[in-house]
Each structure stands twice: as structure tokens, then as C-alpha cells.
A and B are shown apart, each in its own frame.
Chain A
Amino acid sequence: MFTLKKWNAVAMWSWDVECDTCAICRVQVMDACLRCQGENKQDDCVVIWGECNHSFHNCCMSLWVKQNNRCPLCQQEWSTQAKGVNFTRLLISEGRWAGEQEV
């Protein structure tokens, strides 16, 4: 009697992290770190995962490792497992996000 023809679904993505907050700056990892918020570089602020599976803002961690090359949470030697990619940034660099200049 009823058949589905068209489906507009909505999904919310977030970084796949164990803990929502960056242990270094205490801001949620889905938000930009305070430094980037202040400098209005929200789009550049991505997440970084260590081999220990702990995650932080990339900018926070890159400052941290300069002083102490260990994960702030588990004290293991820090080595990067993965880095978030900001897809928007990619699109902009390819010139496909036309709205940027206008907005």
C-alpha cells in the first residue's frame, strides 16, 4: 500500500574519540581549541589521535610535544596514529566551496 520513494535522512558526524574534551585545553574536541577560536581559524583546528587512542586538538598537541613527548593522559611515548581531515578545507582548496568569499 505504501512504498518509500524518497528519503531525506540526516546524520550528525563527530570525531570518533573516547573522550569529548581535549585534555590539554579543556575544550570539546568538536569545537576548535581556544587559540583557534580566538584567531578565527576554526576550520583549521582538527583532532589528532595517538597510538594510545587518546585524542587532542592537533594544535594543542603540537605545542605539548615540544615540551614533553608523552601523552598527557597515559604518559606513553607520543606517536600519532591518525589526524582528522577537514573536508571543508579540502573543498575550499579545490575551489569548490564558492561561498567562502561572500560570507
Chain B
Amino acid sequence: MMSSSFVSESVTNGQRKRFSSGSPDCPHLHKKLCRHTQHMMENQKLANFSVAPNGVNKTTVLGKKQGSEKKILAIKNFKVHNQSAVDHIAESWQFLQEAVVAIQESRKLRDNLTQEDLYRYVDNLITQQDPSRLYYDLRELTERHIKSRLNQFLSGTSDRLTFLRQLNDCWTHHCHQMKMVCNIFLALDRGYVLQNAQVSSIWDMGLELFRQHILEEVVVENRCVDGLLMMIEKERSGETIDRSLVKSLLRMLSSLQVYHKIFENKFLMATEQLYLREGQRLTQDRDVPQYLLHVDKRLTEENNRVLHYLDMSTKRQLIYCVEKQLLSEHKTFLLQKGLDSLLDQNRRLDLSLLYSLFARIKGGLEDLCTHFNAYIKSYGKTIVINPEKDKGMVQELLDFKDKMDGIVSECFNSSDKFVLALKEAFEHFINQRLNKPAELIAKFVDSKLRAGNKEATEDELERLLDKIMVLFRFIHGKDVFEAFYKKDLAKRLLVGKSASVDAEKSMLSKLKQECGPGFTSKLEGMFKDMELSKDIMLAFKQNSHLGSTPIELNVNILTMGYWPNYPVMEVNMPLEMVHYQQIFTKFYLAKHCNRKLQWQPTLGHCVLKAAFPQGSKELQVSLFQGLVLLLFNKADQFTLADIATGTNIEDGELRRTLQSLACGKARVIQKSPRGKDINDEDKFSYNKDFTNQLFRIRINQIQMKETSEEQQQTEERVFQDRQYQIDAAIVRIMKMRKVLPHNLLITELYNQLKFPVKPADLKKRIESLIDRDYMERDKDNPNTYNYVA
């Protein structure tokens, strides 16, 4: 290798020097020679004996020194140098022929002949006679030898592997011997071949002859290709094969330029057949994750195959073929059979593999994305749609979202397409059920923001709120959320049950960011009212003309419109309280002229001192409960009717209040007859024997019925508000368009309205607006409306 490359180098240099002295087609020749030498090196079958480089150099250098008539001088040079050597052409050829045959038969050269001598013979011969003769003599010699090698392959008895080994031996031998021949006949290559474009170099001639006489023999070709395919198939089925043999033979096919013609197509077809069958079989036999692992393994194997012995040009087609047969063909099947369970079981590794495999095939990710989207929709719907699951719905939604987010970021490469599909699917299923999810999310937030929720630290709560906001974003009926949120917030603020002002404000700012300041301005107003009330109470107490009073009064003054609407009730209170209330009203109205105050007894609560014979207690009660209890200062026993007239509390409210006092855990009042429900004839008496281990006792109000009523009220209010919004939108559109057909009006309305509405409801609003003369039906075309200014 070393010496050879040295030869090529020096020859090239020598050529360049000579060509520079004026040959017109020197670039072409130079290129050809270079290609030739390069070719020899590529094949790496270089001979390990050396051709004396000096001989080459000397000739050319001398030739150049002694003038421009190179050929004459070269002859002189030889004659001077080899005076005692060969004179006759025939004799030279005789020697050369002998040497070539010796090389062909792997014998040693005759002892007194060095390769340098042989080289000189060649150089000599091509100057003395027509070099084409030498070339064709050599060709004939080579051809005869190659022909003689054919027979060993025709017997057909040897098994395939032996045949392949035989062929490979023949080929390596051919390469080796041709290398030596090339070296000896270097001068022929240089002096003759280079200058005749139609003549191929000695090396190429060898290849041509080899192909023509060995490989193009049908038997050899078929046995060779079949043998190779068989070996590859063996390897695919898990056996170890002689990779270097396969590699060497495939290199041979490439060198002979028949790789594509006789091998590649057959190989690809065999591959396709194999994987077609394998795909059909394994999709049935194996579950999807196993199948995917197998496909991945196959792809790695085929890639290695290309690395180890196949021609690089086959890679693209081969991999495509595997992907097509194992993946593309079964795309839908795999997704339908496997995706849901992978997602159900949160099998991240398998999902990652699925993603990376589907990324390889055309339309794979699109299909995966569609199925992913459909899965979320159908699974999400089961969470949302069933009223029995309402209790855990929000938590389940949060968990589901977490899981899907994790999968998208970890397995699906956070690809935009999947993030979008995830969003779209959530938005779709969460709105499958009207209003309820919004209500439950609001209530969920309430449960987290209410005092006594100690399950989370501040940071955790903050993160949780962020996640809830993500769900909130999907909800179309944001007004439903607002209504319920406001109702709960009001309760938290008025009863002083809010866990943390910071968390409340953080939630508020999130809502503001999401829906704009218009959405939260009233909620903010509620917080401001609470702050203001504190200031007012401070001022009131400083100004108080009451002197010493045992009652500690605290008033929250709410701005009407910011807060939910509460029913207005007039109740009878003890004189002392009425008096106190009047003083405050006066104080307030003096400070704030042009206002009026509406007291809200339903929202009040108080602390009572109770002197029971068994010990005194402090009772935390609602105002209604307190009023009932205070009544018992006057007498020990009352009927239901007595209490009703005494307190003037609304009947339903009163019954619930009495129930809480007489039938709850802490029974400060006794009811006769006993029982859970309050009946018209029941009598109530002060419980003298009341005991309780606690000093401060909180008597809870009965909530149940109230809640369902409240809920209905809240929903009704939302629908009322929506009607106004629909009206406003219709008038806005009609005012702009003046004349509009029904269908177009409906379409525009759907574009403008941000909450879900049924077409029937829209029709009702349109009717109502026609009744109120905001618009009219066209006289000629009843499906078209005209705006009435």
C-alpha cells in the first residue's frame, strides 16, 4: 500500500512535469490517470511488492533534461541503460507472458527476473511497437485465464455457502493478480490507455472480463444473488452469518457495476415480501407495545445492515420498505388497537416509541394526533357527563389534564400540533355539558380558598389555582362561573371564612388577566367594600355617642350591584338592637349623603352569652338563630306561631332555624314532640339542662335546601343576564345591517355571543324584540328582519 501510493504519486508528478512542457490535452490525461490510480487504491487490493519508483522518475527526468524530443532521448536512454538486456520484442513479450501466467497461477517469478526488469520490458515494448498490440495481447492473456476459472462454478454440486466462498476467493484472487499486472504494465496504462479515451484501463479491463465471463453467466449470477439473499434472510431470522463474506461479495457486485441491476431489486422485493408477511402475522399475534418494540428493533437491524455490508444507496429504499410494510400499512390498526390503552395506562416509554416511529412515516403524526384528540374527547366526556360523578369532577379533570400534559411534553416532544389538539379536545368535551362544569369549578375554587383547607401550602395552592385557570379557560359559559364564584366569595368574605387574602387576590388577578378588568371589577369592588367597612366602623366607634354598651357591633356595608342579590326581609329585633342599628344608620347617612341603607338580616350573625344552669356558654349563631334564642328571655316555651310573630322571620327560614337549634348537635332548645322535622303544632322550650364540653359553640345553619335553592337562583340570574346580552347583540347587529335574513342574523349572533345558546332561545329573543318594536319582519319576505329606528 505504502509503496504503491508512492509510485502513483511520483508518476503523477512526473506526468505533470512532462505535460507542462506543452501537450495540449494534458488536463484530460492527467485526470484519467489520477482516476485510475485512485481506483486502484479504493479497491484496496494493492499488491505488496514494489515497482521501483526510481525507474519511472529517472526516465522522465532524464528525458526532460536532454531536450524536447523526448521519445528519441528515451530510446537512447534505454539502450544505454539496458545494452545487455532484451533486444527483441518477441523475447520481451515472452518474458512478460511468463510473468503474467506465473502471477495468475500464484507462482513465483523466475529468479533472475525482478519486477523492475519487467517494468522496463513493458516500457521498452510500447516504444518499439504499436502499444495497442501489447494491450490486446495482455487482454487475451487475461481473458483466457478468467475463462478458465468459470468451470469450477458450473458444476452446481457445491452448496450455496461453499459456492459463495469459492466465488469470493476467485474474486479476491482476481483483484490481487490484476493489481500486480497493473503495476508491471503501468507504462502501458500511462503511455497508451491514457491517450486513448475508448480504451479502458488494465484494471477496468480486468473487471469487464470478470463480469463478462464469470458473473454474466446465468448460473453464476443466480446462484450468487440467491446465495446472498439467503444469507441475509438467515441473518434476519436471527442466525449469525459471515458478514465479511457478504460484504466482500456485495463490494464485488458494486465494483462490477451490477449491484443495482442484479441484486438491489431482488433484495428489496425479498425484503418487502418478508416484512409484509411479518407485519400481518405480528400485528395479530403481539400486543401493540411489543409490536412497536419489534419494529424498532427491525429498523435498527436494517440500518446496521446498511452500515455493515449493503451499498449506502440502498438505505433509503430499504428503510422506506420496512417502514411501509411494518408501520404505514398498519397505521390505523395500531392506533385503534393500541393508543387508548397506552394512554389509559400512562405508558410513557411506549408512547414515546410510538411517536418516534410514527414520525418516520408519511401522515403518521397527523393520524396519531387525530386519535389522541379523539381519545381525550371521549375519555373527558365520561368525566363530565355523568351527574353521579359531579363530586369529584374537577379533581378528576385536573388529574386528567396533568396526565395528558405530561404525555405531550414527555412523549410527543411538546409538538405544537399535539398541544393544540389537547386544548381543542378539552375545550370540546368540557362544554359537552352546559353550565355544570363551570359551577363545579367555581365551587372547587371556593373549597380551596375557604379557611380550614390546610391540605396545601401557599405555593401549592398557587399552583393549583393556576391549573384551575387552565380548565377555566376552556369553559364557554364564563358568566356561570362568575355568578357562582361571586356567591361563594361573598360568603367567604361576610362570614370571615377566607383562608388567605393573598390567595384571594392572586385568584382575582388571574381572572382579571384571563377575562379582562370588566369581568373582575365587581369582585374587586367586594374586597374594597370589606376594607371600607373596617374604616367606617373605626370612625363609628370613635364617634360613638353610646357610651358604654355591652354589644360589640360590626357592620359590613356592601355596595349594591357588586354583590349577589339577597332577598330583603324585615324582622323583629329586640329594641336595643333596633336602637343600635338606627344610630349606625344615622351616622352613616350623615357621612354619606344621598345614600340609603338596606339592612340584610339574612347575612348577619352574632355571638350570644348563654347562662345555662350547668355553666355559661358562648354561642356563635346566625342572626336568625340569635333572634329566636333572645325570644326565650321572655318565656320558657313558645309555639311555632308564637316565634313566627315574635321574630317575623319568613316561614321556611324560621323552620330551618328552629331545626338547627332543636335538632342539631348542640340542642339549646327542646322541641316537643321530638322529631327531625318542624311541624305547625310543635312547641319549643328552653333547654335548662344543656351541657357541652366546649365553652364556645358554633351552631351551624341548615344548609341543604338553601343550597339547591341558591343554586337555582344563581343559574336563573345568569340566564336573565344572558337574555339582556342576546337582546343587546341582536339590536347591535340590526342597527348596523338595517335589513338581515334570519340565518345570517343567527350566524352573526353566534360569532358575537361568548356563551352557549340554543337557536330556539335566540328565536324567542327575536320575537320579544319584534313585540317591543325594535325590529319587524319584512312584509314581502317573512324570513328577513328590518331594523326599526
Contacts and interface: CB of A to CB of B under 8 A. Distances in A.
Interface in A15-71: 15-16, 28, 30-31, 37, 40, 42, 47, 49
Which of B517, B528, B554, B558 counts the most A-chain CB atoms under 10 A from its CB? B528
Nearest to A98: B531
Contacts, number: 162
Contacts of A91: 528, 531-532, 535
B557 A13 contact: yes
A102 B520 CA distance: 13
Contact of B555 (A11, A37, A102): A11
A31 to B, nearest CB: 5
A9 B555 contact: yes
B596 to A, nearest CB: 4
B774 interface: no
Interface of B: 494, 505, 508-509, 512, 517-518, 520-521, 524-525, 527-528, 531-532, 535, 550-561, 563, 566, 574, 576-577, 580-581, 584-585, 588, 592-600, 603-612, 618-619, 623, 626, 629-630, 632-633, 686
A84 B593 CA distance: 8
B490 to A, nearest CB: 10
A10 B568 CA distance: 12
Contact of A40 (B517, B566, B592, B608): B517
A97 B561 contact: no
24 contacts: A1-B686, A2-B629, A2-B633, A3-B608, A4-B551, A4-B577, A4-B606, A5-B552, A6-B551, A6-B607, A7-B604, A8-B604, A8-B605, A9-B554, A9-B584, A9-B599, A11-B555, A12-B598, A13-B557, A13-B596, A82-B593, A85-B592, A88-B532, A99-B531
Given A40-B521, A42-B521, A5 B550 contact: yes
Contact of A14 (B551, B596, B612): B596
A96 B559 contact: no
Nearest to B607: A6
The 6 closest A-B pairs by CB, nearest first: A10-B603, A6-B607, A30-B561, A14-B560, A16-B596, A10-B600
Given A88-B528, A91-B535, A103-B505, A5 B551 contact: yes
Given A30-B560, A99-B505, A16 B531 contact: no
B604 A1 contact: no
B550 A103 contact: no
A42 B605 CA distance: 31
A11 B606 contact: no
A13 B604 contact: no
A103 B633 CA distance: 47
Contacts of B551: 4-7
Interface size class of A (residues with CB under 8 A): 35 or more
A78 to B, nearest CB: 17
A103 B556 contact: no
B553 A9 contact: yes
A11 B595 contact: no
Given A2-B632, A4-B551, A5-B551, A11 B599 contact: yes
A8 B560 contact: no
Given A13-B557, A31-B561, A97-B528, A1 B509 contact: no
A103 B535 CA distance: 20
Interface string A78-103: 00001011011001000011010011
Given A7-B606, A30-B561, 10 more contacts: A4-B551, A7-B551, A7-B607, A8-B554, A9-B553, A12-B566, A14-B598, A30-B560, A97-B528, A103-B505
B595 A13 contact: yes
Contacts of A49: 594
A10 B552 CA distance: 14
Contacts of B584: 9
Contact of B618 (A5, A8, A13): A5
B528 A99 contact: yes
Contact of B594 (A7, A16, A40, A97): A16
Contacts of A37: 518
Contact of B557 (A11, A31, A85): A11
B509 A87 contact: no
B509 A11 contact: no
